[in-house]
Amino acid sequence: MEMIEKQKTIMAVGGHVGDAELTCGGVLASLSLKGYRVITVALTGGERGNPPHLTPEEYRIQKECEAEEFARLLNGQALVYPYVDGELPDNEEVRLRLCDDIRRYKPAAVMTHWKYSMHKDHELTHRIVKDAWFYAGLPGLRRTEDAWFARGPYYAQNWEDAEGFTPYLYMEVTKEGFELWNEAVSKHWFAVNSPSFPYKEYYSHLMRCNGCLARKEYAEAFTIDEDAKKLVLTEF
């Protein structure tokens, strides 16, 4: 019991099932192998990218199973909120729900989307996460769980969220983490079968390119808010 209580947690929040798994997945897999508990959160199912043989409703069921399978392989847990793809509400209900989950799972850090995107759900997710992260750490906001401060948010590199994104930090993806991610992300149908974009191939190569820049074999890139970019030195 003592070991479980001291286990570190990492949380990655995406607008749809599969977003966090692709953009943060290598880091999540690497951290899971180091003993972290991984929590993925999808604010919608992402069901409207359905293949021709499935209705959006049928695809949502499949997507939820894919999220659970990815998390299972990382010894983690997947949370999929009940909101519809493309209709994520911009309200306090979803912000407080995520606030409560941050307090409940107590992540050391939270990762999510960058603020600019071609997809409305991604941009809204960015704003929701920032507010929920703030609420979670606010002692004066009384909820079922006590206040919890997580580091971040850290914003992941994503081809759909590329406008204005400049990497600020790189996190290593270990070789074993890359292999685990490769297995886990293959459970997502769209990552390997999408006719519109080669998701798995793109993010595999991106990890290698970022690894070169970070002087590692693989890495994933993130940025943070401008007002958080502070270095404090006492001497050189």
| pLDDT tens sequence across 92-110 | 999 999 999 999 999 999 9
Instruction: Report if residue 235 sits inside a domain.
Output: no
Q: What does each C-alpha distance from 209 to 66, 203, 204 come to in angstroms?
A: 27, 10, 9
Instruction: Report if residue 160 sits inside a domain.
Output: yes
3-state secondary structure at position 101:
helix
* Contacts of residue 135, Cβ cutoff 8 Å, sequence gap at least 6: 95, 96, 99, 141
| pLDDT tens sequence across 53-92 | 999 999 999 999 999 999 999 999 999 999 999 999 999 9
The CATH number for 161's domain is: 3.40.50.10320
Whether the pLDDT of residue 2 is over 50: the answer is no
Domain that holds residue 124: 2-226
Whether the pLDDT of residue 181 is over 90: the answer is yes
Give the chain's domain count: 1
